[in-house]
Every structure is written in C-alpha cells, then in structure tokens.
Structure 1
Amino acid sequence: MAVEINRIITIANQKGGVGKTTTAINLATALAAIGERVLIVDLDPQGNASTGLGIDRRDRKLSSYDVLIGTHSVGEAAVDTAVPNLAIVPSTMDLLGFEMEISQHADRVFRLRKALSSESAQQYSYILLDCPPSFNLLTMNAMAAAHSVLVPLQCEFFALEGLSQLLETISQVRHTVNPTLDIQGIVLTMFDARNNLAQQVVSDVREHLGEKVYATLIPRNVRVSEAPSYGKPAILYDLKCAGSQAYLQLASEVIQRERQRKAA
C-alpha cells in the first residue's frame, strides 16, 4: 500500500565541501533507522552519495539521468542499499550532458517534479535530493520538485556570505517556478567546539535566522570522513561516534518539525 510522501527535501548549497552529501546520506540513514521509507535521488554527476552508500559504478544500470530525460521511472531506477528502508536513484556521469540535452525543452525545469509525482515514487515517506555544488539546471529541477530546502552550512568565516546568496536563489525559485518552496532548516556542519571562529559563526547564524537553524550541530569527526571510503553511512560504520549521534539527533529534529508543520 502506498504511503503519503511526507516531504521532498532538497539538500543544497552552491558551495562545495560543506557536508551536503554527508548530510544526505546520514540523515536518510537515520530516518530509515526509525522506520521511515526513504529515497535519495543523487543529482550530482560526481555520484558521491551513490558511492557513499556502496553502489558500485558498474551496478548503476539506470540513473537519475534516465529519470530526468523520461525514459525510466523512479521505481525502475531506484536501487536498494544495505540500509533497510533506504533506496537511492544513483548518479552517473551522463548527468553532465543533461543541461545541454534538454535546454530547449519547455518543461526543462519540471522534469524531476513530474518523475516524483509518479506512482513508483509514492511509496517513500521522505525523498532527499542531493544536489551538485552549483546552481544549475539540476539544482533548479530539485528546487522545483521539492517542498523545502535543507541547507548544510559549514562553520567557517564566509558561511553567512554564501548563505545570503543561497537564500536569494531560493527566493527567486519561489517567485518563478515553485511558490510553496520553504526552508526546511539550516544545519551547521563541521563544527569544532575548540575554534572560537566556529562558535562565532554559530552565534551569527542563529541571530540572523533564529528558529530556522537546527539545534543540532554536526561536529568535525574523523569517523564520518572515513565512512564513505567503505561505502557506508557513518551511522553504519560507527554508530557511537559523535557524528553519527549528531545525525540521529538531526533526524529527530526533522521529524519533530514535520509534526509541528502538519499540526499547524
């Protein structure tokens, strides 16, 4: 029996190296671990989310490219992972040609929205869209398809500057292609409690964005960094490490916000 999609969440930041894919993998794993049916759609040609979940490139017979160009459904392209309740539509380098291939099509921004409205996508309660580190047609498709955007933000000097650019982009998308797009939340990543600058960034972001910022801080953590090389989420690689515990807390916050949203 199909379940209602609770949320399609785009995980986006035009800056690379902020923990976007790490957040996608581990948040999805944490949601799956507490019984949610979760799908990741890997929209980054680098395919790091796919690799980080142990999907070998030779096993990616179908990918998000096939879904976007409309030759195959989400159900056909989705691959089960080693995590119960978690599947992924993997990425391949074919995505590099997507923008050029459909740039003249009138529905070029809405390809993913159409794909996620199909029956095969309805079995998931959360769909997380992992975007490339740039604002291109792939990211635009993700934002056009999503209910909300979750923004991983690294605790560093230029964080607020990059965030203001991203918030402006979200505002533009809301005014052009997706009027209901909301900010799911800002998650602060790579936090080092020993670093005074990191503490200042946390304070500044909370001052500017208030309740939009999750209480959970994702710490810098060696075990989280090691996990992708073993094709595992950190939560499977080392459940007890600080990073894994933080992502479990983040999942709890995400679900709590969803309950509050539905009750409002």
Structure 2
Amino acid sequence: MALEIVTVPCLSDNYAFLAHDAATGATAVVDVPEAAPILNALRERGWKASHILITHHHADHVDGVPALAAATGARVIGAAADARRLPRLDEAVKEGDAVRIGMAAGRVLDVSGHTVGHVAFHFPDSKAVFTADSLMALGCGRVFEGTPEQMWRSLSKLAALPPDTQVYSGHEYTQANARFALTIEPENDALISRAEAVSAARAAGRATVPSVLSEELATNPFLRARLPEVKAAIDMKGASDAEAFAQIRARKDRF
C-alpha cells in the first residue's frame, strides 16, 4: 500500500513530511522542526498524526516533537543509538528494524556520518526514503560527528536503493548545491539541465524536494565520487571512493 506523502515547509529552509495511509488513516510525521505548520497541514487534510519518525538529534529536526506528541498522542520512534539526545522515545529502533504506518511497511537504515546515530526510513512499496541530512538533493550533509568513510558507506547504502525511489531530504539547499556541483562537473549535461530546472522551480516558489534517486546518481557529486571521470576532475586518479568523497566534501565545506 503506497503512502500519500506531503512536504511541509518549516523554519526558514527545513522540511517535515506527512506520510498518510488512506486505508487505515494512520499518518506519520517525519521530523518536527516546529509543530505549528505541521499541525496546520494535518488539520487542513483532516488527518491525525499517529507516529513521529525522528531521523537525528539536531534541534532543527526535533524541537517541535514534544509539542506535536502532546497535541496528537503520536508514538515517537527514533534511533536507539541516539536515544540519549532525542526527545523521549516510545520505540527505539536500529538498522533493519521494521516500521509500519498503517498498512505500509518500512525499514530503518543506519546512515551515520552527518551525526552518529542518524537513521533513514525506507518504504519500498511507496518508492520513498526519508533521508533528512544524509543524502540530500544534489548534496549531502556535513560530516559533523562521523568520518568521511562512514558517510560514504551510508551514501552507498542509499545509492543502492531502486533508482525510482523518491528521496525526501530535510532542507531546501538544492540551488546552492547545484552551484557547487557544477564546479566538479561543469560539462555534465544532466547536471546543467537539472541546475536550470532547480533555478526555475525556486524562482516560482516551488520546492525541489523530493528528488528521484536516478537523478541523484546522474548529477549529485557526492554519489558520483566513485566514478573515474569524477576522480580525474578533482585530481584524485587512483584514490579510493571514500577518499574521493572526502575531497569533494572538503571542497563543499570551503565553497
């Protein structure tokens, strides 16, 4: 059973997501930067949050969890490895654990790197993965707590999902990410076209999230660090995939 998924803008550039199972009425909220816009989006649709899925501990993803849980009675689910830094959990999960939203079955992926204990939620029948600040549209999160090798393993795990998977990431950073990506592959036709489409979408006030994994594989420099032509472009012929990724991430940090 496929979930109906709604993108909810929060704060200045964050996204939360509603994932609704029409058959049962169950509705998950993925990350809660702030409660008010999410409660408004639920009210507009006549939905009630039954679950809150937390990806990682950063304040711009969890600050609204207590208020939303209090208002809705939703069950709060997050990583066991990070429970000490998360709002109070009703269910602590780890890599491979099942998560069910009504009739929709998902699983937990450990995507540590941006933070240690960061998780993603993959719902294969809905062709959806909620990645927050791990894999992002044309980018990835800074490696604040993990290592580049750890982040590369996490991105590789996400890259191996079916290419038609919709990637629901946590921020509207795509236009800036496109500008950086073009410094790595300025002659990548797919990237040039995507950058133009992103600029047009933003000029019209449209969100660029979610994206499609196949598009990320064709244009996202962080996923493409394994390719010989990308290694050549950053003067790292013969480097390991993780080493090339680390170099690209370092360049983005200085961009």
TM category, shorter: 0.3 to 0.5
Larger strand share, 1 or 2? 2
Larger helix share, 1 or 2? 1
TM-score by length of 1: 0.35
Of the two structures, which has the highest relative contact order with CA contacts closer than 8 Å and spacing of 6 or more?
Answer: 1
TM-score by length of 2: 0.36
